[in-house]
Amino acid sequence: MNPGVGEIEIGTPAASTAEVPAGEPLVEVRNLKKYFPVTEGILLQRTVADVKAVDDVSFEIRRGETLGLVGESGCGKTTTGRCILQLERPTSGQILYDGVDLSGLDQKALVPFRRRMQVVFQDPYSSLNPRMKIGQIIAEPMYVHGIEPNAAKRRERVAHLLSVCGLNPGFADRYPHEMSGGQRQRVGIARALAVDPEFIICDEAVSALDVSIQAQVINLLEDLREEFNLTYLFIAHDLSVVRHICHRVAVMYLGHLVEFAPTDELFDRPLHPYTRALLSAVPVPDPEVEQARKHQVVRGEVPSPINPPSGCVFHPRCPIAVDTCPLQVPALREVRPGHWVACTEVREGERPGQ
């Protein structure tokens, strides 16, 4: 067994995440591209280049599952989430939500979908309006969407949501600055739940919290999934957290999806050289094992997304690259059942580079 991989203490798979729900897809991302133009000139702006934040990404999220989206900073995982929410309009590609292409809808037509999908942000300090009380923050979505037109019932529901999220209902009269980071993040979750969504994007939702609070919030998210039949897209860079909470994991590198597999499969048998390097970078809590194990270090730096390498974007840093890698973008192939890899050099059952 490769000691660098799979021995992640906190990341022991939870019982509830052992099997992947086989349901129909709730969200389908098809050939999603998001380019941010780099412009020059003040009045007559010319586009001189594009930042290719997300470049041809496709995956689907099944009803009831938690899909992890991992990768290093700047790989486009957050942009993917924002495109699904239509906070950014995709450059091209489709976001199918329950069969409806969201990228073609205008703001008004999106409103019914806004009720069905919600988001929890990374930074609990800037994700709550500092001028509003907690109760107002949670009640506002119900008022806007007409979920609870009666003010007294709204207050009741705010109190209910606060207690569901592990907060004292008395917090409704507080301002965000009077609360701690963990408490604020729970408010963010309560706000997302206020519209009774079925799908929640957790954009690095626990990354800004300290470890003990992280564990509490993750447990809360898992409890909520069971209570409200939620589907999650869990965007993160902490692999141990992802292993604990996700059914399936998608790995992104420089705007591309490089590997997509059920969680245990991905952590036990990572196939793409980037995934292998990523998992190998997770430190092992035992210092002796940590010293003895072989680290797989990726050479060089992440290339600029303005001018990404040709073909497979990982080839300049790849330990197993061959001459054909710079020529063609590798498509995702199903190497094992449910295990997709965007690399021409890996085969089923093989451990490349060893």
Partner 1 sequence: MATTSEIRVEAAFEEFERPRWRVSGIWQFARRQPLGAAGGIIVIIMILAALFADVLAPYDPVANDFMAMSEAPSWTHPLGTDQFGRDLLSRIIYGARTALFVGFVAAFVGGTAGLILGVTSAYFGGLFDLVFQRVMDVFMAFPLVIMALAVVAILGKGTENVILAILIPFIPRCARVVRSSALSIREMPYVDAARALGYRHHRIILRHMIPNVTAPFLIMLTAFVGQAILLEASLSYLGLGVQEPTPAWGLMLQGGAEEYAESAPWMPIFPGIAISLAVFGFNLFGDAIRDTLDPRLRAR
Distance CA 186, CA 216 (A): 10
**CB under 8 Å to 145, separation ≥6 — which residues?**
111, 114, 115, 195
- List Cα–Cα distances, 210 to 71, 188, 207, 213, in angstroms: 20, 17, 8, 6
In 3D space, the residue among 57, 37, 63, 59 whose CA is nearest the CA of residue 48 turns out to be 37
* Span 167-186, contacts to partner 1 by CB under 8 A: 167-168, 170
Distance CA 245, CA 334 (A): 23
Task: Provide, rounded to whole angstroms, the least separation between the CB of residue 122 and partner 1.
Answer: 8
**CB under 8 Å to 206, separation ≥6 — which residues?**
185, 213, 214, 217, 218, 236, 238, 241
Distance of CA 265 to the CA centre of its chain: 18
Distance CA 311, CA 245 (A): 33
- At residue 67's C-alpha, the angle toward residues 351 and 88, to 5°, is 115
- Exactly one of 59, 121, 199, 232 binds partner 1 (CB under 8 A); which one? 121
Q: Which residue lies nearer to partner 1 by CB, 195 or 320?
A: 195
Q: Is residue 195 near partner 1 by the rule CB under 8 A?
A: yes
Give the DSSP per-residue string, 129-152.
Answer: -TTS-HHHHHHHHHHHTTS---HH
- Exactly one of 18, 38, 48, 111 binds partner 1 (CB under 8 A); which one? 111
DSSP at 178: G
In 3D space, the residue among 188, 181, 232 whose CA is nearest the CA of residue 211 turns out to be 181
Q: Is residue 41 near partner 1 by the rule CB under 8 A?
A: no
Burial of 121 from C-beta contacts in 10 A (0-12 / 13-18 / 19+): buried
Task: Provide, rounded to whole angstroms, the least separation between the CB of residue 234 and partner 1.
Answer: 17
- Exactly one of 56, 72, 98, 140 binds partner 1 (CB under 8 A); which one? 140
Task: Provide, rounded to whole angstroms, the least separation between the CB of residue 33 and partner 1.
Answer: 20
Q: Is residue 132 near partner 1 by the rule CB under 8 A?
A: yes
Q: Is residue 131 near partner 1 by the rule CB under 8 A?
A: yes
- Exactly one of 16, 31, 47, 129 binds partner 1 (CB under 8 A); which one? 129
Q: Which residue lies nearer to partner 1 by CB, 28 or 175?
A: 175
Which positions from 233 to 272 touch partner 1 by CB under 8 A, shown as an x/- string? Answer: ----------------------------------------
Which tokens in the block code for residue 35?
């380019």
* Span 317-336, contacts to partner 1 by CB under 8 A: none
* Span 79-98, contacts to partner 1 by CB under 8 A: 82, 85, 87
- Exactly one of 98, 123, 238, 268 binds partner 1 (CB under 8 A); which one? 123
Q: Is residue 155 near partner 1 by the rule CB under 8 A?
A: no
Q: Is residue 164 near partner 1 by the rule CB under 8 A?
A: no
Binding site for partner 1 (CB under 8 A): 82, 85, 87, 110-111, 114-115, 117-119, 121-123, 126-132, 140-141, 144-145, 166-168, 170, 188, 191, 195
